[in-house]
Structure 1
Amino acid sequence: MDADTRHQLKTNELVQLLSRIDLSDRRLWYWIVGVGLVVVLYFGWKLRNWQARAALDLEWQSLRSLDTSAKHGDAPLEQLRRLISENSDPRVVAAARLRLGNALFERAGENTAESSSYLDEAVRELAAVAESADVPPAMPAAALFKLGKVYETRREFDQARQVYERLRDDSRFEGVPFRELAADRLELLDKLAARIELQPGLAPLPPPASKPASAPSASSPHAAPQPSLPTSAPASEYERREQPAATPSKPVEQQPTGQEARGSEAPPPASSPAEPSQP
């Protein structure tokens, strides 16, 4: 039997089966309507999930790209508050609360006039994230660690210690890096709370003996100013030319002593023969 023959036989069987169906039977129509309704509900559910997922992706993208620095004013904070109030996804809400708490903590350090209100709101937002149960453990751990930092800024060290101990001892945060950071902060708080005892030092040295008052020296600031001698200005080239040249001084002749005088006296000249007189 070739393929064409088999295809023809299958077609004939389908035609015979359809011919046996009684379209006037209500039970058949019930089945058709029920199957159609299930198909419509299934595709409608898939479409709704796709739309919700697309909207969630847009919210995550806008949340990541949101700049909460002070140079943009309060607009980013208002956008985060609106996202928290209008969104129903617990992960998006927890992430928005974390961003808002961090932004408020940074604003408190920059603006001292409103630091108290900023820190109060940061405590509320971070505490809400710490109590969330339908979110990954990393989010409550991050909220608890930041909450401890806020308590330290407010000088509430007992509250900070409780938060860090909760983060360190809770088994839900096993393997989360914030757990080790909380242990480090607890060690630092223990060092800060340690009592420092000052040991007594040596006795102070006796004051130096008083010395008699001496005359103020020239270098003393209270000494009377001494008149300065006038200093001659260097002669100009013209003055040097106009001045006469200095004549060399004659050496002073030294008077001979007695013996030197006698020894130095020249002998009288020898007498010469008398010249013949002229007649």
Structure 2
Amino acid sequence: MSEPLKPRAPRRHTLSVCLICKNEADRIEPCLQSVAGWADELIVFDSGSTDGTVEIVRRYTDQLWITDWPGYGPQRQRSLEAASGEYVFTIDADERVTPELRAQIDAELARETVPCAVYRMPWGPIFFGKRLRFGGRYASPQARLFRREGAEFPMAQVHETLKFPPGPVGRLSGRLDHDSYRDYRHMVDKHTQYAWLLAQEKLARGKRTTIFTPPLRFVWEFILQYLIRGLVLDGRRGFLLAVLLSQYAYHKYAALYTLQLSGAKPDPKFAPENRQRRVGGP
């Protein structure tokens, strides 16, 4: 359960929180609790939940759109185009805005002129019930708060990266908690799904690989995550996560190689020109 919201300091600049989801009934409520009553508007795009997610969301906001699933980038762009706040915060159902982060965002938006166009913040990775101290790739700061004008999401099917609006990039120390995986099967299924999408994206961009690349990527990813990015200091969970992230790297390139072997033709929706194409609003 998220901590109750304290009355916030007055903000000079409005804030929209945008969330995309599907079938997240088992964990979306703490996420909603961490932002409802704090943001000036809470915008949710649901792509066809059948587990009660929609009913939970409606308890927290009436700005709910039920849509098809065009991919991660297009769906985030839809939610961004529905926002009206001067600044936007994007969040996922498996994340929670901590009180420290809320207070820091309020302080920035209370200024007469907000000094930065984009703010990064640390993830607080939770892995199978315990917070990681280092987190490997999950320790990378996340650019989640940004000025709406000039911002845009690419049409990427997965791992969509915000196109920043013009202006300085700042950093907040408040943590965005991230409890990504329900269990081991969910983690493996999610990695397999993402690996397949990324392999198709690489194929559409003309990327090629060899039979030797997947195992080499596995080894390099383990060294990177376990030794260089500090998962060795997170004990047994750190070792397990390093192996799973290495498997993810392996699957991406193994999937690409199998597409080459089968003579698969690139899917047009992954083509570079379609990554830049904007979608319409809600």
Shorter-normalised TM range: under 0.3
Which gives a bigger RCO, structure 1 or 2 (Cα 8 Å, sep 6+)?
Answer: 2
| Larger of the two Rg values belongs to structure | 1
Greater fraction of residues in strand: 2
Higher helix share: 1
TM-score (norm 1): 0.24
